[in-house]
Amino acid sequence: MKTYKIAVMGGDGTGPEVTVEAVKVLKAAEAKFGFKLDMTDFDFGGERYKRTGETLPDSAIEEFRKFDAILLGAIGHPDVKPGILEKGILLKARFALDQYINLRPVRLFEGVETPLKGKGPKEIDYVVVRENTGDAYTGTGGFTMKGTPNEVAVQSAVYTRFQVDRCLKYAFEYTKKYGKKARGVGKENTLGLVGKTNVLTYIYDLWERAFHEMGQKEYPDIRRDYYHVDATCMWMVKSPEWFDVLVTGNMFGDIITDLGAITQGGMGIAAGGNINPQGVSMFEPIGGSAPKYTGMGVINPLAAICAAQMMLETLGEEKAAKKIDEAVRFVTANKMKSMAAGKMGFSTSQVGDLVAEKVAE
Ligand code: IPM
Ligand code: MN
């Protein structure tokens, strides 16, 4: 039987609670679809940092390399200064394990409320491929004359051709496999590049040239669109049905996927994958640790369950992944009152049970 080694890192706040539900659903899938998940817990996060001063040590990264995937809950602790855990754990894992894709589906499920008037699951059904290793996230920077009236702060946005090409390659391949035509819900497979070629005339010029070169040469059947990032924000609200797969740099991808998440029902449902197609990938609900709800059993575990679903899809367990997707859609359409914490009509663990039971059926 195929066995996968999974590192489970519940993290902070409500992270561990939602992760328990994701694991519950994975166990239901494993029993039914004939593979095994060998799961190991890791306690990296704010509590451990407060105890030991340690975020995510190099030895943990080396340990993670022996796993097939990582399932993450959430990172962020109210007693720890912002930036320490984010940089020390989340970003460290992304960069050290070279998880160069951040895959963030923007899909509205039946039964989930969206703030977009007149839009439903048919219209809100696209994916953002966010580059995950470059841009201002890893560009150099610093201060001079700090604390004086002449203080200077610099932080550069950097892209290499290599980073851009490997991200585009993934995005084109993803579009070929999961674009709207491939999924039977549209006439074309379309990849849209989101940039800012009118101002960031260096880095997005590089992206645009690489995009059209690769598209023309290797993917002539995939339609190519280009959007400025500011306009993208408008269209994400006004005409999300235009989009199929979008690809963009790290910073723009971070920003537009929070907008995307709220249009799909919010942080209770939005999931993402930090993917290294040749290495160890890490899957996470994209909402934060929601510390004020910790331990109350009211937080929505669906985002974590959807992250686990993406993990199985990436590992190649596509049948099980499809089943979990269907189960989540069944639960949102027929059971839950709302995606918001405390308003679901069920507790955190009851929502996990509903999905797990459906998967086991
Ligand atoms: C995200 C988050 C992170 C990011 C933060 C917590 C570092 O906002 O995953 O989108 O900026 O990538
Ligand atoms: Mn973000």
Q: For residue 302, what is the domain's CATH number?
A: 3.40.718.10
Verify that 173 and 224 share a domain, yes or no: yes
Model confidence band, residue 4 (pLDDT cutoffs 50, 70, 90): very high
Flag whether pLDDT at 124 surpasses 90.
yes
165: which 2 tokens?
């090409």
Verify that 244 and 276 share a domain, yes or no: no
Domain final residue pick, 244, 264, 284: 264
Domain final residue pick, 203, 237, 264: 264
Residue 93: predicted pLDDT: 97
Verify that 274 and 260 share a domain, yes or no: no
Adjacency order of strands within the sheet including 125-131: 35-42, 2-11, 69-74, 281-285, 271-275, 101-107, 125-131, 245-248, 190-195, 223-228
Q: What is the per-residue pLDDT across 208-263, written as a single tens digit (0 to 9) for each?
A: 999 999 999 999 999 999 999 999 999 999 999 999 999 999 999 999 999 999 99
- The domain containing residue 256 runs over which residues? 114-264
Flag whether pLDDT at 356 surpasses 90.
yes
**DSSP state at residue 342:** T
Q: Is the CB of 86 under 6 A from ligand 1?
A: yes
In terms of C-beta density within 10 A (0-12 exposed, 13-18 middle, 19 or more buried), how is residue 187 classed?
exposed
Q: What is the per-residue pLDDT across 270-309, written as a single tens digit (0 to 9) for each?
A: 999 999 999 999 999 998 899 999 999 999 999 999 999 9
Residues less than 5 Å from ion ligand 2, measured at CB = 254
Scan for tokens 């099980």, then name that residue.
Answer: 320
- Residue 149 in any domain: the answer is yes
In terms of C-beta density within 10 A (0-12 exposed, 13-18 middle, 19 or more buried), how is residue 201 classed?
exposed
Verify that 291 and 345 share a domain, yes or no: yes
Q: What is the per-residue pLDDT across 164-201, written as a single tens digit (0 to 9) for each?
A: 999 999 999 999 999 999 999 999 999 999 999 999 99
Verify that 315 and 216 share a domain, yes or no: no
Flag whether pLDDT at 33 surpasses 90.
yes
- Residue 109 in any domain: the answer is no
Residue 287: predicted pLDDT: 84
Residue 146: predicted pLDDT: 98
Specify the number of domains making up the chain: 2
Verify that 327 and 312 share a domain, yes or no: yes
Residue 168 one-letter amino acid: L
The ligand with the least distance to the CA atom of 93 is: 1
Residue 279: predicted pLDDT: 97
Domain final residue pick, 243, 264, 285: 264
**Alpha-carbon gap, residue 33 to 20, rounded angstroms:** 20
Verify that 301 and 353 share a domain, yes or no: yes
Residue 208: predicted pLDDT: 98
Residue 222: predicted pLDDT: 98
Nearest atom in ligand 1 to 257's CA: 10
The pTM of this model reads 0.97
- Residue 65 in any domain: the answer is yes
Q: Is 98 helix (H, G, I), strand (E, B) or coil?
A: coil
Q: Which of 56, 77, 80, 86 should be mutated for ligand 1, with most atoms under 8 A from CB? A: 86
Give the closest residue (by CA) to ligand 1 atom 8: 254
- Residue 108 in any domain: the answer is no
Distance from the alpha carbon of residue 253 to the mean position of ligand 1, in angstroms: 10
Nearest atom in ligand 1 to 102's CA: 9
φ/ψ region of 85 (left if φ > 0, alpha if ψ in -120 to 50, else beta) reads alpha
Q: Is the CB of 353 under 6 A from ligand 1?
A: no
